[in-house]
Chain A
Amino acid sequence: MIKALLSHCLVWLLLVAASVPAPVAAGDSVTLGVFAYRPDNVINERYQPLADYLTLETGMPVNLRVFNQDDMNRALAANQIDFFLTNPSHFLVIRSERSLTGALATLRRAWHGETTGSIGGVIITRAEREDINRLQDLEKKSIATPGLTYLGGYQAQALELVNAGVDVRRHNRMVFLGNHDRVIRSVLSGDTDVGFIRTGIYEELLSENPNLAGELKIINPQQLRGYPFVLSTRLYPEWPLVSLPHVDSRTVRRVASALFALEPEHAVAQAAGLAGFSPPADYQSVEMLTRTLRMPPYDQVPRVTWVDILHQYRNWVITVAVLFVLLVITSLWLGRKKKQLASEERRLRSLIASWPQPMLMIRNGELVDCNRAAVDLVGYTSEASLLGKSLAAFSPHSQPDGTPSSQKSEALFARVTAGEVSQTEWLFVRSDGARVWVAMTLAPVYEHDSDIPSVLCSWHDITRRKQAEEQQRLALRVFKNAREAIFITDAHGVVMDINEAYTQITGRDHKSAIGSLPPMPVDEGSAILVAANRHGVWSGEFAARHQEGQAIVLNLTLSSVLDEQGELSHFVGVFSDITRQKEIEKQLRIMAHYDALTNLPNRVLFSDRLHQSMAQARRQNYRLAVIYIDLDQFKPVNDAFGHDAGDGLLVEVARRMRSTLREEDSLARLGGDEFAAIIVNVPDAATLDVLLSRLLTVIAEPVWVANHSVEVSASMGYTLYPQGEEIDGDQLLRQADQAMYRAKREGKNRYCCFQDADA
């Protein structure tokens, strides 16, 4: 009935509206869009009275259209709606898309006499689900929800769960069902574990089906005094009623006043379950909610531009920029400095590398750097072959002082790394085996990246000096230790230096010898200096006198020494004492010419004297006689009394014969018991006969040998010189021998003169 009446009125009003000219409304009718959070028919049934009420109150036909969210969006895009009523989340999305100013009014709901302008979310599950009691229990559960853009059907619960540490958007299976009734059905049927619905739905369904209370339970219930519905979340402002910009202000005013005039007791309000409309609420809390959840329209992360940053952090930006510029400048400056340093370093490096003196760097006992000269000195081919080796690798096993090279070098490095600068001489062995003497200077070099200093080592090749020193030492040793006396004089022959042997030979000590003349032959004197100067050398033997007086014989070689200009600068003399040598020579001469037993000249000297006497006789024109004497019966004496007795006999007979002869005559023992004599200046035969007879007499006298008196005789032959023809000494002696044999044959103890028949 009422409906019919209302529709009648509506038609009437439409007619009135049509008759009124344009400014009343954009169109003849006003369209109110209502979002269907429950099935369309339910919404239609509830809100048609409101549309009718508005038609009546405003005098404009108000058409009710019920939409789901997508359809409402499309209708809004097409400007087919003038007013709409939807949930706050959806309102925010639309507002951001359409640049709406704000809500016209906020819905208030009533339930059993209590009214509220607040909406929240309810989390339901089946009563028998023992495992779901707290928000945290929702982790990984499947969840039914009407959709994302539902404040009480999704967003309110999502925030509580986020605060409880459950991120439903990531870890839960969400089932989107379009409206709340399906959510409840889904939970009841067990399709999903949990359902999200808005406040009020539960109570509405409960009134239709009271059994639900036993089948469902509420998670995280909030016991809020004065709030008529069960609730699981915090509260937000209820649905807004919004006018669109194209609706003229008069229409808006009329609708608004009609809405605010609606009392809770009004039939229209009762039908829709409304308690009327209040002035628009502050939807800031919903905005914060969607911002927190990053849901539309706040799903975009706010874009922060550089200008924003600049405005917000101006001081920081300026500071950072200044620091950056400083950094760049510093970097450039450092880069240039580095380049300069690098070229400086290259220059130094090439300088060191080409420096003629060998230089090396040693760290921890190993070569880390060296120059070309060092490589050449040890005879290697490249620097690389040297690096990493120790000094001992180029050294003989031990240094000349006997210390092993490795031990010595370690001791050296220990001293240097302690901060000392050290100098030493070192022997290296080149790769070809040659030995190199080096004067080595080691100095510590403190590098910034190491506590232990490296060792800078420079070498100086002193091999030639060492060799010269060696030669000098040898020469000095020769000078000092020579058995020959050596002296050096100045150009005038004054002694400057002598050796030990000089003192020994001459008896003059160093002090007295220096500054005086060296020993010289008495007769020649300093003439030998002149000779040595002229010929370069003089040598000769001469007699000199020892300091203590005894005579010595010296053999001197004197050489002149010229200076670089070829002028005489020194004389060097070498002499030896040949005194003993001379004596030995003399003895040897005696041994060669005399018979050792009788001390009479032997055959050699006899022959020599015979020659001299023969020559003298010819020169002075006198005669000489050669006598050959052989003892008779000498062998029996020897046999009977021994050789000593024989020798005694010979010595005694020789003495008697010698003493019988004149001084100028010579007697020689030719061997055994044979003697020979040269009688010079024989005036006549008679004199000779007397001499020969006396000889026989002295020989025949008894001789006391070996306690026995022995008597021997002698047979003698003689010959005279000169004879008719020239004759030599040997022939003369042979003639005397032949004459002696005739005397033997004629009965011994006599003498015979040579006759040609004897030959």
Chain B
Amino acid sequence: MHRRHFLQLTIAACVAAGMSGCSRSDPLRTGIHPWIGYEPLYLAEEFGWLPATVQLVKGQAASDSIGGLISGNLDAAALTLDETLRVLAAGVPVKAVAVTNVSVGADVLLVRPEITGLSGLRGRRVAVELGGVSGILLFSVLERAGLTSNDISVVDLPVNEHIRAWQRGDIDASISYEPEASRLVAEGAVRLFDSSQLPETIFDLLVVTDAAASRQPAAVRDLVKGHFLGLQHLVRNMHDAVYRVATRQEVSPDMVRQSLANVMLPELLANHRYLTHNGRLEVVAKTLENIMVREGLMDKPLRYEHLTDPAFLPRSLP
């Protein structure tokens, strides 16, 4: 049917045959944790669209994936851009092979109803997962409010523990994301600020280590293709997907619909655009890096040639 596709397969087969067989046996270990932007990968796994070359290693939070990459237990992971930079800062060379989503309000600052403005945060206890994207949002929020990190009380806490801290009254504000955000809202939290006010800044990515990319390029391609197949199901068959996502995340289908409203899920063409060398993603990465260095989240500027690699994107989808 597709001669071009056939040619690709042939070339891929040749390349694969040219490499030693050692890479065949080990699947690409990919760290993943609950997040609406990563749902396509879960869907792909559920429908059997991930071949045996890819293994999803399911963690609870981003820190699991970061730790796995740094320790070498993982070959790839779904991470936000700033998390990716942290991994790079830890000395593990990685590259972004796909943009899973761009946050448009998914990361959100939730506060007690009595706080009505950003300036009201002064002196409050703000729960934040500093190691994650939430830290970036916090610093952006503080920047907007004209505050510094010294003006508030930062409670560094994994996102999944915010709800209990909230219930105990340990915190006054939380920088969170779905599905935890919806749970907090159900507990009476109020949205004060979200990432939609920082357009095209908070990227979620599929990253692979340079070692894995050169050792198992076919598996990386399988991973990226699985993501896009899952995404296709999510978009085309949202009637089905929302229930499945709701089931996994243990929230209502309506909550899932809301979550989806807060993310942009870039399709293949948009991915090509984002991943272009010196494209939007690399520009934002540079800016982020500067903030992180400035806020002391990172010791020194990173040294890398290119953060992105669009070579693993599938040329077309069925």
Q: Point out residues on A near B: beta carbons under 8 Å.
A: 116-118, 120, 163, 223-227, 234-237, 281-282, 284-285, 288, 313, 316
- CB <8 Å contact, A234 and B236: no
Contact of B239 among A226, A235, A313, A316 (CB under 8 A): A235
B243 at the interface (CB under 8 A from A): yes
Question: Judging by beta carbons under 8 Å apart, are B252 and A226 in contact?
Answer: yes
Q: Known contacts being A224-B243, A224-B247, A225-B246, is A236 close to B237, with CB within 8 Å?
A: yes
With a cutoff of 8 Å between Cβ atoms, the chain B residues found around residue A116 in the complex are 253
Residues of chain B within 8 A of A224, CB atoms compared: 243-244, 246-247
Interface flag for B161 (CB, 8 Å): no
Which label, helix, strand, loop or mixed, suits the secondary structure of the A interface? loop
Chain A nearest CB from B210 CB (Å) reads 34
Kindly report which residue of chain A lies nearest to residue B256, judged by CB atoms.
A226
Tell me whether A285 and B243 are in contact in the complex, defined as CB-CB below 8 angstroms, given that A163-B48, A227-B253, A313-B3 are known contacts.
Answer: no
In the complex, the answer to whether A227 meets B3 with C-beta atoms within 8 Å is no
Extra pairs beyond A226-B252, A236-B239 (8, CB < 8 Å): A224-B243, A225-B253, A226-B246, A227-B243, A234-B237, A235-B240, A284-B237, A316-B3
Q: Give the residue among A226, A282, A288, A316 with the most B Cβ atoms within 10 A.
A: A226
A117 in complex: contacting residue of B3, B47, B239, B251, CB < 8 Å: B239
Question: Which residues in B have their C-beta under 8 angstroms from that of A120?
Answer: 240
User: If A118-B243, A224-B244 touch, does A282 touch B253 (CB 8 Å cutoff)?
Assistant: no
Q: Is the CB of A226 within 8 A of B253?
A: yes
Task: Please determine whether B247 and A223 come into contact, CB atoms closer than 8 angstroms.
Answer: yes
Main secondary structure of the interface of B (DSSP, over half): helix
Q: Which residues of B contact A163 (CB under 8 A)?
A: 47-48
Bound: A284/B232 CA distance, A = 11
Residue of A whose beta carbon sits closest to that of B232: A288
Contact B238 A282 (CB under 8 A): yes
15 contacts between A and B (CB under 8 A): A118-B240, A163-B47, A224-B246, A225-B243, A225-B250, A226-B247, A226-B252, A227-B243, A234-B237, A234-B240, A235-B240, A237-B239, A281-B239, A285-B239, A313-B3
Residues of A within 8 A of B244 (CB): 224
Contact of A285 among B48, B237, B250 (CB under 8 A): B237
- B289, chain A: closest CB distance, angstroms: 40
Interface string of B211-255 (1 = CB under 8 A from A): 000000000000000000000000011111001101100111110
CB distance from A279 to the nearest CB of B (A): 13
Whether B247 lies near A225 (C-beta < 8 A) is: yes
In Å, the complex CA distance between A313 and B243 comes to 41
In chain B between 253 and 295, which residues have their CB closer than 8 angstroms to a CB of chain A? Answer: 253-254
Q: How far is the CB of A298 from chain B (nearest CB, A)?
A: 14
Residues of chain A within 8 A of B4, CB atoms compared: 313
Q: How far is the CA of A117 from the CA of B237 in the complex (A)?
A: 12
Asked if A285 contacts B236 (CB within 8 A), the reply is yes
CA distance in complex: A29, B20 (Å):
75
With a cutoff of 8 Å between Cβ atoms, the chain B residues found around residue A225 in the complex are: 243, 246-247, 250-253
Picked from A117, A118, A282, the residue with its CB within 8 Å of the CB of B236 is A282
Q: Are B240 and A236 in contact (CB-based, < 8 A)?
A: yes
- Across the interface, name the chain B residue whose C-beta is closest to A234: B240
Render B42-62 as a binary contact track against A, CB cut-off 8 A, 1 for contact. 000001100000000000000
Q: Provide the bound-state CA to CA distance between A717 and B255, in Å.
A: 197
- In Å, the complex CA distance between A313 and B5 comes to 12
A120–B240 alpha-carbon span in the complex (Å): 9
Find out whether the CB atom of B240 lies under 8 angstroms from the CB atom of A285: yes
A223 contact set on B, CB distance < 8 A: 247
CB distance from B179 to the nearest CB of A (A): 12
Contacts of B251 in A (CB 8 A): 225
> Given the known A-B contacts A163-B48, A313-B3, A316-B3, are A226 and B237 also in contact in the complex, defined by CB atoms under 8 Å?
no
Instruction: Determine the distance from Cα of A288 to Cα of B236 in the docked complex, in whole angstroms.
Output: 9
Q: Which residue of B lies closest to A286 (CB)?
A: B237
Bound: A117/B257 CA distance, A: 13
A134 to B: closest C-beta gap in Å = 15
Give the CA-CA distance A282 to B233 in the complex, in Å.
12
Give the residues in chain B near A117, CB-CB below 8 Å: 239
A226 and B236 form a contact (CB under 8 A): no
Inter-chain contacts of B252 with A (CB < 8 A): 225-226
Closest beta carbon of chain A to B178's beta carbon, Å? 15
Shortest distance between the CB of B50 and any CB in chain A (Å): 14
Please, how many angstroms separate the alpha-carbon atoms of A226 and B258 in the complex?
Answer: 15
Chain B residues contacting A235 (CB-CB under 8 Å) are: 237, 239-240, 243
Which residues of B are found within 8 Å of A316, using beta-carbon distances? 3
For B243, what are the chain A residues with a Cβ–Cβ distance below 8 Å?
Answer: 118, 224-227, 235
Residues from chain B with Cβ under 8 Å of A236 in the complex = 237, 239-240
Most central of B47, B239, B244, B254 by chain A CB within 10 Å: B239
9 closest A-B pairs by beta carbon, nearest first, are A235-B240, A285-B237, A224-B243, A118-B239, A225-B247, A234-B240, A226-B253, A225-B246, A235-B239
Please name all residues of chain A whose beta carbon is closer than 8 Å to the beta carbon of B238 when the two chains form the complex: 282
CB <8 Å contact, A284 and B247 = no
Docked complex Cα distance between A47 and B248 (Å): 36
Q: Tell me the bound Cα distance from A313 to B236 in angstroms.
A: 28
B236 touches A284 (CB 8 A): yes
- Measured CB to CB, the closest approach of chain A to B51, in angstroms, equals 15
Cα–Cα distance between A288 and B4 once the two chains are bound (Å): 23
**CB of A240 to closest CB in B, whole Å:** 12
B234 to chain A, nearest CB (A): 11
CA A226 – CA B250 in complex, angstroms? 9
Chain B nearest Cβ from A88, distance in angstroms: 10
Interface residues of B in 1-55 (CB under 8 A from A): 3-4, 47-48
Question: Which A residues lie within 8 Å of B254 (CB)?
Answer: 226
Contacts of B247 in A (CB 8 A): 223-226
Residue of B nearest to A237 (CB): B239
Q: How far is the CA of A236 from the CA of B233 in the complex (A)?
A: 11
* CA gap between A237 and B4 in the complex, in Å: 35
A163, A225, A237, A313 — most chain B CB neighbours (10 Å):
A225
Residues of chain B with a CB closer than 8 A to A313's CB: 3-4
Chain A residue with minimal CB distance to B254?
A: A226
Task: Please measure, in the bound complex, the distance between the C-alpha atom of A226 and the C-alpha atom of B252, giving whole angstroms.
Answer: 6
Instruction: Indicate the member of B47, B237, B254 with the most A CB atoms within 10 Å.
Output: B237
A694 vs B246: C-alpha distance when bound (angstroms): 194
Q: How far is the CB of B247 from chain A (nearest CB, A)?
A: 4
Residue of A118, A120, A163 with highest tally of chain B CB at under 10 A: A118
**Complex formed: what's the CA distance from A284 to B237 in Å?**
8
In Å, the complex CA distance between A116 and B138 comes to: 38
A199 → B minimal CB distance (Å): 11
Q: Which residue on B lies nearest to A281, using beta carbons?
A: B239
Q: What is the CB-to-nearest-CB distance from A340 to chain B, in angstroms, rounded to a whole number? A: 39
* Chain A nearest CB, measured from B240 CB (Å): 4
Chain A residues near B237 (CB-CB < 8 A): 234-236, 284-285, 288
Which of A235, A281, A284, A313 has the most B CB atoms < 10 Å from its CB? A235
A-chain residues with CB within 8 Å of residue B239 when the two chains form the complex: 117-118, 235-237, 281, 285
Cα separation A670 to B195 with both chains bound (whole Å): 182
Taking CB atoms, residues of chain B closer than 8 Å to A226 are 243, 246-247, 252-254
Determine the chain A residues whose CB is within 8 A of the CB of B246 once the complex forms: 224-226
* Docked pose: A223 CA to B247 CA in angstroms: 8
In the complex, what residue of chain A is closest to B1 when comparing beta carbons?
A304
Binary interface profile of B, 186-202, with partner A (CB < 8 Å = 1, else 0)?
00000000000000000
Shortest CB distance A265–B (Å): 18
- Kindly state the separation between the CA atoms of A227 and B253 in the bound complex, as whole angstroms: 8
Chain A residues within an 8 Å CB radius of B3: 313, 316
- Docked Cα-Cα span, A376 to B54, in Å, equals 83
- Tell me the smallest distance from the CB of B42 to a CB of chain A, in Å: 14
